[in-house]
Amino acid sequence: MRVVIAGQGYVGLPLAVRAAEVGHDVVGYDVDTVRIGLLAAGESYVEDITAERLRAVLDSGRYRASTDPADCAEYDIAVITVPTPLRDGAPDLSYVEASTELLASHLRPGATVILESTTYPGTTDEVVRPLLEKSGLTAGVDFHLGFSPERIDPGNPTWNVVNTPKIVSGINEESLARVKAFYETVVDTTVSVPSTRAAELAKLIENTFRHVNIALVNEIAMISHDLGIDVWQAIDAATSKPFGFMRFTPGPGVGGHCLPIDPSYLSWRVQRALGQSFRFVDLANDINNHMPDYVVRRLIEALNRRRRSVAGSRILLLGLAYKKNTGDARESPAVRVVQLLRQMGAEVRVADPHVVEAVHGASDLTMVKADAEELRAADAVVLLADHDAFDYDLIAAESRCVLDTRRRLTAGPTVEVI
């Protein structure tokens, strides 16, 4: 089938490569000329897609990266994987709308359009459908429409696009059948959901669940510290329960395109449709947004014990990405930690082997390697993302003072764990 995937980011690129690998004729369309330039040159900026895999699908002629809207013509299947950010706390669907309008201009009878971007319940039916119908074709009659949320967990070595069960939905039975048939060619398992709204809500339940539980364990970590209890020992003990408990661990806050944003899509919808607040989300936002301030407070305390001030100290942050083994620095709590420390007069340096400057625009930061010289020269080192690529023996041996927000190191005279 001729497949167009609008948006070649963390979600769209892995799907496009996989679709090409199974034999579809794929156009990866994106408006970002830097990204498309890298892809066309066989350079991947998404960790889960190696340059070898990308080059193989480029060489096979089955995958093409393009910024030319004309290349989206004559699709059988179009998948929308564009950003769904917040603007002033409200959903910003402008990217979804822009890509839908482009796909509407190329819509043909019999084609299927699938929304994958995470969004509030009702978007497929109330936003995407009318824009596509401006083509003069009727959804569910002349063309098919569905929603299939992406569950990809960047950097996860076990669960990927292929083996993670894929929720599929459609605006009617025929649409669901078309959406399901397409994904059955690219993933191992599909899970049919009878309505697009239930599928949209399912994705938001998953992410709100994570967001709330991370906030819970972060609050417990702060309380435990003040009570003089090692929260990690308590979490390890609780994890021994084989049922009714799911392990979450504290950290410097949440980041990426999902957890800081998706739950607010749901609370916005609840407020808009029902006139009531979604209190769990408000509380979780409050706690998780506070975590960078808490990290800085703990750093101030650690420096204080060494009779040093933040002002004038050289601080080395390990990890700019929001998450282990990924280069995604969007909404990363590390960015907030940098800001706070700079405001206090610290000299901040950042080491992150995964962050690609051209993609993440980290150009105003002093990016360094976490080598012995850097570690020794820092008054304090803060571990924010516990990438496997860091040399933890070296960090423990060479640093004068480490604040570890991920418990990757063992607490001791020079190492403090949050």
Ligand X SMILES: NC(=O)c1ccc[n+]([C@@H]2O[C@H](COP(=O)([O-])OP(=O)(O)OC[C@H]3O[C@@H](n4cnc5c(N)ncnc54)[C@H](O)[C@@H]3O)[C@@H](O)[C@H]2O)c1
Write down the least CB distance from residue 41 to ligand X, Å.
Answer: 16
CB 116 within 8 A of CB 179: no
Write down the least CB distance from residue 256 to ligand X, Å.
Answer: 6
252 vs 255 by CB, closer to ligand X: 255
296 vs 321 by CB, closer to ligand X: 321
Q: Measure the CA–CA gap between 352 and 366, rounded to whole angstroms.
A: 11
Name residue, tokens 């990426």: 256
Q: Measure the CA–CA gap between 347 and 309, rounded to whole angstroms.
A: 12
Write down the least CB distance from residue 31 to ligand X, Å.
Answer: 4
Write down the least CB distance from residue 254 to ligand X, Å.
Answer: 12
Query: Alpha helix (H) ranges present in 228-315?
Result: 231-239, 262-274, 279-305
How would you classify residue 244: left for phi > 0, otherwise alpha for psi between -120 and 50, otherwise beta?
left
CA distances from 404 to 222, 316, 385 (A): 14, 12, 9
Q: Measure the CA–CA gap between 219 and 290, rounded to whole angstroms.
A: 10
Residues annotated as catalytic are: 258
CA distances from 268 to 54, 200, 216, 277, 281 (A): 38, 14, 22, 8, 10
Q: Is 158 exposed, middle or buried (0-12, 13-18, 19+ CB in 10 A)?
A: exposed
Q: List all residues 6 or more positions away from 138 whose beta carbon is below 8 Å from its beta carbon.
A: none
219 vs 328 by CB, closer to ligand X: 328
In the complex, residue closest to ligand X by CB? 9
CA dihedral (294, 332, 352, 210) in degrees, to 10, reads: 90
167 vs 383 by CB, closer to ligand X: 167
8 vs 175 by CB, closer to ligand X: 8
51 vs 397 by CB, closer to ligand X: 51
Q: Closest by alpha carbon to 145, among 188, 212, 92, 199?
A: 199
98 vs 344 by CB, closer to ligand X: 98
Q: Measure the CA–CA gap between 298 and 356, rounded to whole angstroms.
A: 29
CA distances from 132 to 5, 73, 124, 311 (A): 16, 14, 10, 56
117 vs 218 by CB, closer to ligand X: 117
Q: Measure the CA–CA gap between 250 and 225, rounded to whole angstroms.
A: 12
Q: Measure the CA–CA gap between 163 and 81, rounded to whole angstroms.
A: 19
Q: Measure the CA–CA gap between 79 and 62, rounded to whole angstroms.
A: 16
Q: Measure the CA–CA gap between 75 and 5, rounded to whole angstroms.
A: 10
Binding residues vs ligand X (CB under 6 A): 6-12, 29-32, 35, 81-84, 95, 98-99, 117-118, 150, 152, 154, 257-258
